[in-house]
Amino acid sequence: MVMSDDEIKKLYRIRKTLLEMLRDRGYLVADVEMNKIEDEFKKDPGDFGESQRDDIKEALVMSKCKNDNPSDQIYVFFPKAEKIAEKELLINITKHTIVPEHRVLTDAEKRDLLERYKVKEAQLPKILVTDPVVRYYGLRRGQVVKIIRPSETAGRSVIYRSVV
């Protein structure tokens, strides 16, 4: 199957966003994979470019394990038919200028936050599990995210939100 340059560029952008997402979620992603440039993506027939395979997407299959737990693994593959979710992966939304910095709290940080402010989890502002940034990080209900925004008066504004 011969793919157009536009289709190859699209797959490259999807691959790059996926690798960034996996790294942000704590999976082991080598710098070499992150830094592979688009020309190499097109030229490297064994891995990414036009190949003997029926479908270039098969060459993009990847398996990664967590940095802190090698038994916690994820397998990424691309279906033959284009899915709507692929369009969401063309751009890494966490790098967009209007999206503030989001940092996922660990369970210990969440406990400290609730104790420090003497609040219950239900009292924290909410963020929906369907929020694009929540989906990017793969968060689940009950997790807390720290959102840091620039502020003209305070320099920066910090808010914590509980995923519902």
What average pLDDT values come out for the chain (164 residues) when binned by 10 residues? 72 86 92 75 55 56 90 84 73 93 96 96 96 94 96 93 97
CA–CA separation, 55 vs 153, rounded Å?
53
The whole-angstrom separation of Cα 25 and Cα 35 is: 18
Tell me where in the chain the CATH 3.40.1340.10 domain(s) lie: 5-91
Side-chain-side CA neighbours of 96 within 13 Å: the count stands at 12
For 60, the 3-state DSSP assignment is helix
Can you give the pLDDT at residue 5?
Answer: 74
Does domain 101-163 fall into CATH 3.90.940.20? yes
CA distance 139 to 91: 19
Q: What's the pLDDT score for residue 41?
A: 67
For residue 55, what pLDDT is reported? 54
- For residue 93, what are the CA distances in angstroms to 13, 89, 135, 160? 12, 9, 10, 19
- 5-91, CATH topology level: 3.40.1340
The model's pTM is: 0.77
